[in-house]
Chain A
Amino acid sequence: MRITVRIWRQKNVETPGKLVSYTRDGVEPDMSFLEMLDVLNEDLIAAGNEPIAFDSDCREGICGMCGVMINGVAHGPQRIATCQLHMRSFSDGDTITVEPWRADPFPIVKDLVVDRSAFDRIISSGGYVSVNTGAAPEAHATPVAKTNADRAFEAAACIGCGACVAACPNASAMLFTAAKVTHLGELPQGQPERAARVVSMLDTHDAEGFGGCTNIGECAAVCPAGVPLDTISQLNADLLGAFIPNRRD
């Protein structure tokens, strides 16, 4: 196949960037999208041009390291991580526009690489159960209904890729935050800190500069992990719960 890619090139966060076009013949349908970029980079190096910087690690859709906008859609047309996308999704002669995630809390590092450490700070502010090593009770001491366990898992499947932010017209990280709030909120282990967690994580979410959510739903539609949109509803309910003075407070 002959493929033209228009790729965002930007040296660093201070220098302005621009789209640059590259055309390559002999792209095979069995190549993954990132392998296509690999071979393009080999060409660039051979010609003495600096290769395109992009993030990836596991290349099997689980680490969340990869992620670019492909033709205006986060991770491209298939609701899977960028590294899972294969060139058979495109046709001979196609032109593909590739841009980095754009959100001010995700500053650009270089070309297609952005800094998503804001996500770590959101987790750090409450996305856990406070249990020290060795302090755990026997695992079977607390049964968990399968429905709760399954829902917790579904939310916990978030890979932290940032596509939700990239796709959200408000650049909101609400789905990412909601995924963790829901994961832990579904489990008995997560109950004691439930109200504190949602407030604290939202506080950090806002402080990092992400937009507010207006329920547009693009996030869940591109999420490669299939984190459902109603986790945001659950987060909202938890926050409302935190408003209300609690009998136990």
Chain B
Amino acid sequence: MTEQTLVDGLYREGPSIRDTKAPDGPLDRQWSERKFGAHLVSPTNRRKLTVIIIGTGLAGASAGATLGEAGYQVTSFCYQDSPRRAHSIAAQGGINASKNYRNDGDSDYRLFYDTIKGGDFRSRESNVYRLAQISGSIIDQCVAQGVPFAREYGGLLDNRSFGGVQVSRTFYARGQTGQQLLLGAYQALERQVAAGTVTTHTRHEMLELVVIDGRARGVIVRNMVTGQIETHLADAVVLASGGYSNVFNLSTNAMGCNATAIWRAHRKGALFANPCYTQIHPTCIPVSGDHQSKLTLMSESLRNDGRIWVPKTAADQRDPRQIPEDERDYYLERTYPAFGNLVPRDIASRAAKKVCDEGRGVGPGGLGVYLDFADAISRLGKETVTARYGNLFDMYERITGEDPYQVPMRIYPAVHYTMGGLWVDYDLQSNLPGLFVVGEANFSDHGANRLGASALMQGLADGYFVLPNTINDYLASSPHDPIGADHPAVVEAATTVRDRITTFLSAQGARSVDSFHKELGHIMWEYCGMERTEAGLRHAIDEIRRLRGSYWADVRVLGEAEELNQSLEKAGRVADFLELAELMCIDALHRRESCGGHFRAESQTPDGEAQRDDENFAYVAAWEWAGADSAPTLRKEALRFEWVELKQRSYT
């Protein structure tokens, strides 16, 4: 590599990249043209081709089922004890589709437009339009599988509206949409298990990617029950390992969610795009103490009927029910009359932070705002409110010990989703041939901010419809040469994994893995959270480096390698978070604009809104690993907007 000067003292710039897979031409023709242009594999040959899928969430399970149905030999992995437990199961609110069943003016174009705008013009037009086109088929598919979506008395599907849009296009199954969609995909996957096309390996964690001659050819996994390090090889590898919000320690993600799969791939050459784009969800249950292990999301759908407010005066300690109407500030309705409580997540989150910073926050530590259902209950009746949100209300009561039918809920923002992820082209293939990335693990469709109910849509679009139609273009040139387990690249990968485990177990330090994770979380939330500044990010980078240094020396992992060892599992995940965190901060530092979920305090409009800089930052920042102690390389993919006009986002 040519010697280059460091930018900001932190990174180098490399040659720019271009996604060459999306065909030119009208937006609505691109997908059908790509499908037609892609090479096909004949049914008889599919049996001989093998695909590894890491992850059994919406993206991984749907891809596994569909590729299995097509006749490929699929091997699927997840770290839970059943594929059904992937974190997609926790999604509550719903899934979008441009069916226009409400006749309220919805269309593929409108869904496309809303998503591009919601993402603050930082996503690819081609991908997003395809997502909108496919959205309707997802609903058809899920209904056919028996997903019990909410229905109206006429027997047809019900819809509701969701943050950031003015149409009702969200399909839902009470507050358990993700669960029902995932069970649909899981069952389809299990059907293929019975058919013999899919093999599932549960309680297996991917710890390394095997790259041979520049192609992804397999993975090294650890059997979490026996501790055995196994090598699995295939013609292609698909990562569907979900998001990395847990780099913040406290997030709404499941305890086991991790970045290991994508981070290991990144270290093997896969580009990591837009790592700093994280979404802070406005409606979570506030932190209650130091022991807190994770945060609980209250579905965004609550904002349909709940009204958000804080007292007008700071430090108002009264019982919320005693505060008269004219002393309450319904700040979202006041500032954004057109969207009110339904403004996009980033805006709602930041507004909450702002009122709390003004000292008007409620609850312990002043870190909370009210989400009040009193109006909804008197307007709709308690029964309707129960039917819509009953399970969420129960959950709130169990966690906080307060009854939301009586007292307004207290909510506060929390990290929820990561828009960043491995860079992929229109085919969902990373820059490493043979490595495909689907679902939240890739960076693809949501730009700098994701709209509610569109992650489920994207995960299923990727898995059911996109990947199965693009991976064949790559597999058409397979099978590749068979590889032995003694191939140097395989041995090297397996050795790396074993060495890391040995290092952890022999560190004999004084601190638990969790204590490091907590500390990292504090740094990230403080300096790379809702609001980011140049100085803060620089400080964070120093802190992370210091913490990473002491981690390897001072971590204590008990137990053995050849057994179920949960500390050891966490140790590997936290080690990867400690590297990823730094890249996130570097990315956040280099992007000196505000956009979507990335709010740089230095770049705001006079009234405190995010100020984009399209001149300088209308690109995807894809980062290349340059070695353990080397500055990463930035590769830019320019974003072109031909079908929408770049506008300052406005929800007022």
Judged by CB atoms under 8 Å, the answer to whether A and B touch is yes
Question: Which A residues contact B (CB, under 8 angstroms)?
Answer: 11-12, 28-32, 34-36, 38-39, 42, 45-46, 48-51, 53, 55-65, 78, 80, 84, 86, 88, 109-110, 113, 115-117, 119-120, 123-125, 127-140, 142-146, 149, 152-153, 156-157, 159-160, 183-184, 187, 189-190
Residue with the highest number of chain A CB atoms closer than 10 Å, among B87, B143, B464, B514: B143
Chain A residues near B62: list those with CB within 8 A.
Answer: 133
Tell me whether A160 and B288 are in contact in the complex, defined as CB-CB below 8 angstroms, given that A58-B90, A128-B187, A133-B465 are known contacts: no
Looking across the interface, which residue of chain A has its beta carbon closest to that of B513? A45
Q: Of B106-114, B178-186, B587-595, B626-634, which binds chain A?
A: B178-186
Asked if B144 contacts A127 (CB within 8 A), the reply is no
Report the bound CA distance from A89 to B225 in whole Å: 33
Asked if B154 contacts A143 (CB within 8 A), the reply is yes
What 9 A-B pairs come out closest when comparing CB atoms?
A143-B155, A136-B144, A128-B187, A153-B148, A124-B190, A136-B140, A57-B254, A139-B143, A133-B66
Interface residue from B80, B89, B143 paired with A189 (Cβ < 8 Å): B143
Chain B residues near A61: list those with CB within 8 A.
Answer: 395
Looking across the interface, which residue of chain A has its beta carbon closest to that of B149? A149
Report the bound CA distance from A143 to B143 in whole Å: 10
Report the bound CA distance from A61 to B563 in whole Å: 27
Tell me whether A190 and B146 are in contact in the complex, defined as CB-CB below 8 angstroms, given that A62-B89, A130-B191 are known contacts: yes
Asked if A56 contacts B255 (CB within 8 A), the reply is yes
Rounded to whole Å, the gap between the CB of B96 and the closest CB of chain A is 14
Report the bound CA distance from A78 to B180 in whole Å: 24
Chain B residues near A130: list those with CB within 8 A.
Answer: 191
Chain B residues near A143: list those with CB within 8 A.
Answer: 151, 154-156
Chain A residues near B186: list those with CB within 8 A.
Answer: 123
Tell me whether A120 and B293 are in contact in the complex, defined as CB-CB below 8 angstroms, given that A62-B89, A140-B101 are known contacts: no
Rounded to whole Å, the gap between the CB of B469 and the closest CB of chain A is 10
Report the bound CA distance from A138 to B99 in whole Å: 10
Chain A residues near B254: list those with CB within 8 A.
Answer: 57-59, 63
Asked if B139 contacts A139 (CB within 8 A), the reply is yes
* Residue B430 interfacial (CB < 8 Å): no
Asked if A60 contacts B558 (CB within 8 A), the reply is no
Asked if B293 contacts A32 (CB within 8 A), the reply is yes
Asked if B148 contacts A127 (CB within 8 A), the reply is no
* Residue B39 interfacial (CB < 8 Å): no
B503-528 CB mask vs A (1 if < 8 Å, else 0) is 00000000010110000000000000
Interface residues of B in 56-94 (CB under 8 A from A): 62, 65-66, 69, 80-85, 87, 89-90
Asked if A157 contacts B143 (CB within 8 A), the reply is no
Interface residue from A32, A153, A183 paired with B174 (Cβ < 8 Å): A153
Question: Which B residues contact A (CB, under 8 angstroms)?
Answer: 62, 65-66, 69, 80-85, 87, 89-90, 99, 101, 137, 139-141, 143-146, 148-157, 173-174, 176, 179-180, 183, 186-188, 190-191, 193-194, 200, 202, 225, 254-256, 288-289, 291-294, 296-297, 395, 398-399, 401, 464-465, 468, 512, 514-515, 556, 558-559, 563-564, 566-567
Tell me whether A57 and B255 are in contact in the complex, defined as CB-CB below 8 angstroms, given that A136-B141, A136-B144 are known contacts: yes
Report the bound CA distance from A194 to B365 in whole Å: 55
A-B contact pairs, 9 of them (CB 8 A): A32-B293, A55-B81, A59-B294, A120-B83, A123-B84, A132-B66, A133-B468, A143-B155, A144-B155
Interface residue from B87, B89, B151, B566 paired with A53 (Cβ < 8 Å): B566
Report the bound CA distance from A222 to B90 in whole Å: 21
Tell me whether A133 and B141 are in contact in the complex, defined as CB-CB below 8 angstroms, given that A12-B563, A51-B558, A63-B87 are known contacts: yes
Chain A residues near B174: list those with CB within 8 A.
Answer: 153
Looking across the interface, which residue of chain B has its beta carbon closest to that of A113? B564
Asked if A110 contacts B564 (CB within 8 A), the reply is yes
Chain A residues near B65: list those with CB within 8 A.
Answer: 133
Asked if A139 contacts B140 (CB within 8 A), the reply is yes
Rounded to whole Å, the gap between the CB of A135 and the closest CB of chain B is 7
Report the bound CA distance from A139 to B99 in whole Å: 10
Chain B residues near A117: list those with CB within 8 A.
Answer: 81-82, 202
Looking across the interface, which residue of chain B has its beta carbon closest to that of A43? B512
Asked if A156 contacts B180 (CB within 8 A), the reply is yes
Interface residue from B81, B297, B563 paired with A115 (Cβ < 8 Å): B81
Report the bound CA distance from A152 to B512 in whole Å: 45
Chain A residues near B143: list those with CB within 8 A.
Answer: 136, 139, 142, 189
Chain B residues near A119: list those with CB within 8 A.
Answer: 82
Chain A residues near B154: list those with CB within 8 A.
Answer: 143
Tell me whether A124 and B193 are in contact in the complex, defined as CB-CB below 8 angstroms, given that A59-B294, A86-B401, A146-B151 are known contacts: yes
Report the bound CA distance from A115 to B203 in whole Å: 10
Asked if B87 contacts A57 (CB within 8 A), the reply is yes
Chain B residues near A184: list those with CB within 8 A.
Answer: 146
Chain B residues near A146: list those with CB within 8 A.
Answer: 151-153, 155
Asked if B81 contacts A65 (CB within 8 A), the reply is yes
Report the bound CA distance from A35 to B288 in whole Å: 12
Rounded to whole Å, the gap between the CB of A136 and the closest CB of chain B is 4
Interface residue from A29, A86, A125 paired with B398 (Cβ < 8 Å): A86
Report the bound CA distance from A12 to B148 in whole Å: 39
Asked if A64 contacts B187 (CB within 8 A), the reply is no
Asked if B141 contacts A134 (CB within 8 A), the reply is yes
Report the bound CA distance from A28 to B291 in whole Å: 9
Rounded to whole Å, the gap between the CB of B572 and the closest CB of chain A is 16
Looking across the interface, which residue of chain A has its beta carbon closest to that of B512? A45
Chain B residues near A34: list those with CB within 8 A.
Answer: 293
Chain B residues near A139: list those with CB within 8 A.
Answer: 99, 139-140, 143-144, 157
Interface residue from B84, B141, B401 paired with A88 (Cβ < 8 Å): B401
Rounded to whole Å, the gap between the CB of B126 and the closest CB of chain A is 21
Report the bound CA distance from A242 to B456 in whole Å: 37
Chain A residues near B256: list those with CB within 8 A.
Answer: 57
Tell me whether A38 and B183 are in contact in the complex, defined as CB-CB below 8 angstroms, given that A65-B85, A146-B153, A183-B146 are known contacts: no
Asked if B567 contacts A149 (CB within 8 A), the reply is no
Chain A residues near B83: list those with CB within 8 A.
Answer: 120
Asked if B157 contacts A133 (CB within 8 A), the reply is no
Report the bound CA distance from A29 to B11 in whole Å: 47
Report the bound CA distance from A126 to B614 in whole Å: 53
Rounded to whole Å, the gap between the CB of B197 and the closest CB of chain A is 12
Interface residue from A64, A129, A144 paired with B84 (Cβ < 8 Å): A64
Asked if B84 contacts A120 (CB within 8 A), the reply is yes
Asked if A123 contacts B190 (CB within 8 A), the reply is yes
Report the bound CA distance from A197 to B464 in whole Å: 24
Chain A residues near B563: list those with CB within 8 A.
Answer: 11-12, 110
Asked if A63 contacts B85 (CB within 8 A), the reply is yes
Asked if B144 contacts A64 (CB within 8 A), the reply is no
Interface residue from B66, B137, B567 paired with A136 (Cβ < 8 Å): B137
Looking across the interface, which residue of chain B has its beta carbon closest to that of A60? B296
